[in-house]
Amino acid sequence: MRWSKTLLCTLREDPKDAEIVSHKLMMRAGLLVKLEGGLYSYSPLGVRVLHKVENIVREEMDRAGASEVLFTALQPISLWEESGRAGIMGKSMFRLRDRNDDTMVLGPTHEEVATDYLRTLASSYRQLPVTVYQIQTKFRDEIRPRFGLMRCKEFVMKDAYSFDIDSDAADISYQKMYDAYLRIFRRCGLDAHPVEADTGAIGGNHSHEFMVLAPSGEDGILHCPSCRYAANQERAERRAPPCDWATPSAEPRARVATPGAHTVDEAAAALGIASDQVVKSLVYLADGKPVMVLLRGNADLCEPKLRRALGCSEVEMADPETTARVAGPFGSIGPIGVSIPVYADNALKEARDVAVGAGEEGFHVVHCNLMDDPDVKIARWEDLATVVAGDRCPRCGEPLELARGIEVGHVFKLGVKYTKTMGFSVLDAAGKSVTPVMGCYGIGVSRTVQAIAEQNNDKDGIVWPAAVSPFQVALLALDPKNPEVAAAVDALESALEKAGADVLVDDREERPGIKFKDADLIGCSVRVTIGARSLEKGGAEVRLRRTGETTLLPLDAVPARVAELLAAN
RNA sequence: CGGAGUGUAGCGCAGACUGGUAGCGCGUUUGGUUCGGGACCAAAAGGUCAAGAGUUCAAAUCUCUUCACUCCGACCA
């Protein structure tokens, strides 16, 4: 492709809207054009990267035995009512009406459509296992789109769905996808790590996310340096920290004035004890019903854990009025004598001598024995605390480390959640009707593009891995009007393309400095420069973007050298 | 939805407190000199100052309302 024949515009300065490095660089390199928040057009350059990632995904899905299909983006709401997700996905699903006034949705995901597709086609165990996948535009009315392609209202996703006759077979399908994901991200030049994850609105009982480590990532990841345990912070577990007050106090339970103390730290200071010895009591609304949560004073509640523990679909902190009504004023909440269900974090199991809010402004109760106090009714003990850096690994006990990650892929074991509710069954070998076991597997393709840029850049611009570089080679014609240069560029372009490389020829009438800067910014893996000067010295200059390593070669030796560099990068 | 911030030329910004005919840099166009790491000189084009209402002789500037975008939280590939 000739630069002069396409509309490629680079930006000299960072756009004001962009916050993270990949977003800035993709905008500056002219890969994206913003239409609105969460909506971006791909330029001729950007769409090439997208297609390259798509093709890697396609090849690895095919290799793993999945079959490509294409579902519709537009779906009838009735499918979602059938699965029971119309409510759960409700707010993030774009809805519209057709001319018959029927409600349609723009698919945020395709579990329902996939299940419907299978139930219309499959009726025998002999047709299973089967895994279908598609690369589709998804629509989600995101609460907050951000960071360019990272979180968009419209984005490209690869989603796959496996159907198996039983759970053991489903595990095999899951593992195939898991392995394929590792290969896909490796081929994209990404360092992506599988971590145990929460299943969220998709549902199911087991899932892994594939995380690209980056400080700008939206998720916290706890990982253990000694045993390789890794989990999303929404789900990570820990061994309960040691407890220094596991023996009941000799003193009786007592009400103590703590005027003005509203936080755990203030209460601890007023009482002259460690903040961890003060129980943090929170009132939450679980699907609208108030519940109390107890944690150690220095722990934070992990809301997804609470949601899972309670089996509800939404939890939120209760408003001050509700809190005051069921448990006393903010800052003095406590579990003694409350009538709502109380859920306590496992780390409090040994607590025999702690302080709690008295349920009354300005008072706390000390020497409370949570386990045995007749006025404290713990409905259930659960793992509810957010795990933080330094907490002990649930597997091996070593301290965990915290990192940030970008979620580029997610694999789920769904069980029979959709197949059962949507009435998909097949006959097994004995002629008995069975409900197939399902898995689903997503890759955020457009997000992956940006994650690659986030992980592969330097002060001059993006450094695309060769497999996804918009063009593998940027061929700079430093003086396109010089006939010798033009002839050499033409010849080399053909030779490179014949050798299987794709080439962007910068034939603009610009000064050399501009071409070098733009080439660095766009980040094609290999740069080949031809100018009067290089011809005088005997050929063309070949430079690897990632290292800056440069060699001057005779023109006919260039294609082989380029191929060598591309293969190694 | 809650909290914070920003809207002025294609892009990045100043001007606002103290109201008085719209500025700078980059980019764009034309001419010239340059030409291997974002050149220089000269000339030019380009703006209902986010929108609406109000105050005023006069509003980018003061007041109110609305909208959009960005950031922090809940949602997720």
**ipTM for this prediction:** 0.95
Mean pLDDT over A455-470 rounds to 97
A24 touches strand B (CB under 7 A): no
pLDDT value of position A463: 98
pLDDT value of position A13: 93
Tell me the per-residue pLDDT of A271-288, one tens digit each, with 9 for 90 and over: 989 888 999 999 998 888
Q: Could you tell me if residue A227 is inside a domain?
A: no
Mean pLDDT over A120-141 rounds to 97
Specify whether A477 is located in the same domain as A448: no
pLDDT value of position A239: 93
**What's the CATH code of the domain at A263?**
3.90.960.10
A14 touches strand B (CB under 7 A): yes
Specify whether A22 is located in the same domain as A136: yes
Specify whether A292 is located in the same domain as A354: yes
Query: Which of A156-170, A290-304, A485-499, A544-558 has the weakest average pLDDT?
Result: A290-304
Q: Could you tell me if residue A240 is inside a domain?
A: no
Specify whether A442 is located in the same domain as A478: no
Percent of chain A with pLDDT strictly greater than 70 = 99
pLDDT value of position A203: 67
A303 touches strand B (CB under 7 A): yes
Specify whether A73 is located in the same domain as A42: yes
On the question of pLDDT at A431 being above 90, the answer is yes
Q: Could you tell me if residue A434 is inside a domain?
A: yes
Q: What's the CA gap between A562 and A565, in Å, rounded?
A: 5
Q: Could you tell me if residue A390 is inside a domain?
A: no
A345 pLDDT band, cuts 50/70/90, is very high
On the question of pLDDT at A367 being above 90, the answer is yes
Question: Gap from A508 CA to B30 C1', in Å?
Answer: 19
pLDDT value of position A308: 87
On the question of pLDDT at A464 being above 80, the answer is yes
pLDDT value of position A556: 96
Tell me the per-residue pLDDT of A433-444, one tens digit each, with 9 for 90 and over: 999 999 999 999
Q: Could you tell me if residue A9 is inside a domain?
A: no
Mean pLDDT over A456-482 rounds to 97
Q: Do A504 and A511 contact (CB within 8 A), yes or no?
A: no
Specify whether A262 is located in the same domain as A298: yes
Tell me the per-residue pLDDT of A509-532, one tens digit each, with 9 for 90 and over: 999 999 999 999 999 999 999 999
Tell me which residues from 400 to 439 on chain A have a beta carbon below 7 angstroms from nucleic acid strand B: 407-410
Q: Could you tell me if residue A247 is inside a domain?
A: no
Residues whose CB falls within 8 Å of the CB of residue A334, separated by 6 or more in sequence, listed in order: A279, A281, A327, A328, A356, A357, A358, A359, A364, A365
Task: Please give the mean pLDDT across all residues of chain A.
Answer: 93
Tell me the per-residue pLDDT of A157-208, one tens digit each, with 9 for 90 and over: 999 999 999 999 999 999 999 999 999 999 999 999 999 998 776 666 689 9
> Domain end: A391, A420, A453, which one?
A453
Residues whose CB falls within 8 Å of the CB of residue A131, separated by 6 or more in sequence, listed in order: A64, A65, A66, A67, A160, A161, A162, A163, A173, A176, A177
pLDDT value of position A405: 94
pLDDT value of position A206: 85
Going by the DSSP 8-state scheme, the letter that residue A148 receives in this structure is G
Specify whether A43 is located in the same domain as A179: yes
Q: Which residues of A88-110 are buried (b: 16+ CB within 10 A; e: fewer)?
A: bbeeebeeeeeeeeeebbbbbbb
pLDDT value of position A201: 67
3-class secondary-structure state, position A376: coil
Tell me the per-residue pLDDT of A119-129, one tens digit each, with 9 for 90 and over: 999 999 999 99
Question: Gap from A94 CA to B68 C1', in Å?
Answer: 20
Q: Could you tell me if residue A540 is inside a domain?
A: yes
Question: Which residue gives the smallest C-alpha to C1' distance to B26?
Answer: A12
3-class secondary-structure state, position A119: helix
A321 pLDDT band, cuts 50/70/90, is confident
Copy the structure tokens of residue A437.
């076991």
Residues whose CB falls within 8 Å of the CB of residue A180, separated by 6 or more in sequence, listed in order: A60, A61, A63, A64, A66
Task: Give the total residue count for chain A.
Answer: 569
> Domain end: A401, A419, A453, which one?
A453
A443 touches strand B (CB under 7 A): yes
| Cis bond before residue A129 (omega within 30° of 0) | yes
Specify whether A449 is located in the same domain as A476: no
User: Which residue is it, tokens 């893996």?
Assistant: A525
Closest CA to A126 of A169, A159, A161: A169
pLDDT value of position A325: 87
Mean pLDDT over A100-126 rounds to 96
Question: Gap from A446 CA to B38 C1', in Å?
Answer: 30
Specify whether A428 is located in the same domain as A487: no
Specify whether A50 is located in the same domain as A177: yes
Q: How many domains does chain A divide into?
A: 3
Tell me which residues from 460 to 519 on chain A have a beta carbon below 7 angstroms from nucleic acid strand B: 460, 478-479, 511-514, 516-519
**What's the CATH code of the domain at A171?**
3.30.930.10
Tell me the per-residue pLDDT of A197-238, one tens digit each, with 9 for 90 and over: 987 766 666 899 999 999 999 999 999 999 989 999 999 999
Query: Which of A108-112, A360-364, A426-430 has the weakest average pLDDT?
Result: A360-364
On the question of pLDDT at A58 being above 80, the answer is yes
Q: Which domain holds residue A540?
A: 471-568
User: Which residue is it, tokens 């990982």?
Assistant: A223
Tell me which residues from 342 to 401 on chain A have a beta carbon below 7 angstroms from nucleic acid strand B: none
Q: Could you tell me if residue A494 is inside a domain?
A: yes
A151 touches strand B (CB under 7 A): yes
Tell me the per-residue pLDDT of A79-88, one tens digit each, with 9 for 90 and over: 999 999 998 7
3-class secondary-structure state, position A372: coil
A531 touches strand B (CB under 7 A): yes
Chain B positions with a protein C-beta closer than 7 Å: 1, 6, 11-13, 25-27, 34-39, 68-77
Question: Which residue gives the smallest C-alpha to C1' distance to B37?
Answer: A513
Q: In angstroms, how far is the first alpha carbon of chain A from the final one? A: 22
Mean pLDDT over A329-350 rounds to 90
Specify whether A192 is located in the same domain as A273: no
A202 touches strand B (CB under 7 A): yes
Burial classification of residue A374, based on how many CB atoms lie within 10 Å of its CB (0-12 exposed, 13-18 middle, 19 or more buried): exposed
Specify whether A377 is located in the same domain as A436: no
